[in-house]
Amino acid sequence: MSLHFDNVSFTYPGAQHGIEAVTLSVTPGELLAVMGRSGSGKSTILRLTAGLLDGYRGRIAIDGRDVAGVPVWRREVGMVFQQYALFPHLNVLDNVAYGLRMRGIDAAKRRARALDMLERVGLAEHAGRRTTLLSGGQQQRVALARALAFEPKVLLLDEPLAALDAGIRQQLRDEIRTLQRACGATTLLVTHDQDEALSLADRVAVVDGGRVLQVDTPERLYEQPVSTQVARFVGHSSVMPGRVIANGTVDVSFALLSADTHVFRPGDQVEVLLRPEHVQPDPPANAVNRLAGRRAEVRYFGATCRYDFVPDSSQKPLLCEGRRLAEHAIAIDPEHLRVLPASASQFC
């Protein structure tokens, strides 16, 4: 089943916040992550899909059909929230079977289906237990089994791992992926955690201020962000403000850098993006984009080091990464510099 948002805007009554002109498509069986910081409009997108909010502009379609006016219970969406939201008066099995009961499935069938789902999330032996006796990770597995048991058209996950400890979060992240693939559920996953978004999703929508900035595969978001604003959400980078002075050359105030500028014209204000792992330490004297300077702060991460390198005639350090540290100079292959339009507002 597919999910489409076509130019959807929504403002909370009496407030100025919500989402603005959101266009998104989730293809059948795809897992699309909606990533952005707190208050960026992620949950609003989910609530609109579920039918929990009224009065939006634009078009929302599930499986090609406009869902305007279709109530929550008829949209056939499965939902999992950060807080497990299980029914405390029902045991594990009855929680999972709940959606099936609502749909009038007979007792034997719903028991078999619920047990099958519990088997898949590794909790079959807990079927008769009270949910309050389960750990956070187990409760979230039950919530996932419950959301998928009635084979929803769309699965909506709102920061499902945010309340869990780091170890269990990692494990459940993999389990969600496996289960989602096995069930083939079209899924919208909301998260503020970039590791979660990049490792789980087929594609990621980066949202900020209620707007979608870019929808792309994790690889393309990282390698080809459309703006430095997006780049800041995905991995580490240094951003150098500059001006194109000739085709293939950018003046970044402390150096002239060779880079691909073909979409710009001389005189254009730009920002040059550098990923830390693309820095070559202590290159030969004739290397292109060679910057002499000095190494500053070093952060050790075992498999790699992240360190600052301050080019001569610049106060601002560039972030570098690698096992070998630069002493006196770095070089950057022009292919690895990404020249982007200067952003209207600078923020970190």
The residues binding ligand ADP (CB under 6 A) are 12, 15, 17-18, 36, 38-44
Residue 18 contact, options ligand ADP, Mg ion, none, Cβ 5-8 Å cut-off depending on partner type: ligand ADP
Is the backbone of residue 117 left (phi > 0), alpha (psi -120 to 50) or beta?
Answer: alpha
Residue closer to ligand ADP (CB basis): 207 or 221? 207
Q: How far apart are CA 107 and CA 117, in angstroms?
A: 15
Closest to ligand ADP by CB, 17 vs 129, is 17
Minimum Å gap between C-beta 85 and ligand ADP is 16
Is there binding between residue 43 and Mg ion (CB under 5 A)? yes
Point out which span in 38-46, 198-206, 266-274, 302-310 binds Mg ion (CB under 5 A).
Answer: 38-46
For residues 2 and 36, the answer to whether their CB atoms sit within 8 Å is: no
Tell me the torsion sign for CA atoms 109, 115, 116, 121: positive
Residue 57 CB, nearest distance to ligand ADP (Å)? 16
Q: Closest distance between ligand ADP and the C-beta of residue 334, in Å?
A: 37
Smaller CB distance to ligand ADP: residue 81 or 150?
81
- In whole angstroms, how far apart are CA 271 and each of 170, 209, 238, 250, 253? 35, 21, 10, 9, 12
- Considering CB distances under 5 to 8 angstroms, the limit depending on partner class, which of Mg ion, ligand ADP, none binds residue 227? none
CB-wise, 95 or 140, nearer to Mg ion?
Answer: 140
Q: Which residues, 6+ apart, have CB-to-CB distance to 340 below 8 Å?
A: 225, 226, 227, 228, 231, 270, 271, 272, 273
**Considering the complex, what minimum distance in angstroms separates the CB of residue 11 from Mg ion?**
16
Of 44 and 227, nearer to Mg ion (C-beta) is 44
Q: How far is the CB of 39 from Mg ion (least distance, A)?
A: 8
Contact 56, 8 (CB under 8 A): yes
**Which residues on adjacent β-strands are paired with residue 67?**
none
Segment interacting with Mg ion (CB under 5 A) among 35-43, 174-182, 243-251, 253-261: 35-43
Residues that bind Mg ion (CB under 5 A): 43
